[in-house]
Amino acid sequence: MNNELITKIAGILYEKKAKDIVALDVHDLTVITDCMIIASGRSALQVKSLSDEVEEKLTEDGIEPIRKEGQQEGRWVVLDYGNVLVHIFHPEEREFYRLDKLWENDQNRIALGFDEDDED
């Protein structure tokens, strides 16, 4: 698993004020990816802004997404970096799909090195 990439993406989201950032190690649960990073924006505009920022910062490091979906609507954006999938949700979509609850078990949350309780 690419912990450096996970930490970088989570840090970008944190700096741009994403909410409820979660990283899950799912390599034992699916063949699709090794890690899912899930975060929320407060509005469709912020969801787009968060996804743009992640993509821009990683592109600066020579890391391009394999695929991206949902940037037009800004309700649920997925950036596919191979072994890391980034899901950025509008709060209503995150509550409806509950992706973090679907993929989280008792031992697969990855520590991200910041405390979101310090926000706001």
The model carries a pTM of 0.91
Q: Would you list the domain boundaries of the chain?
A: 3-105
Sheet containing strand 67-69, strands side by side:
19-25, 35-40, 84-89, 76-80, 67-69
Per-residue pLDDT of the chain (120 residues; tens, 9 = 90+): 689 999 999 999 999 999 999 999 999 899 999 999 999 999 999 999 999 999 999 999 999 999 999 988 889 999 999 999 999 999 999 999 999 888 988 789 999 987 655 444
**Residue reference for tokens 């949350």:** 109
CA distances from 119 to 19, 38, 97 (A): 9, 17, 24
Domain 3-105 has CATH 3.40.50.300: no
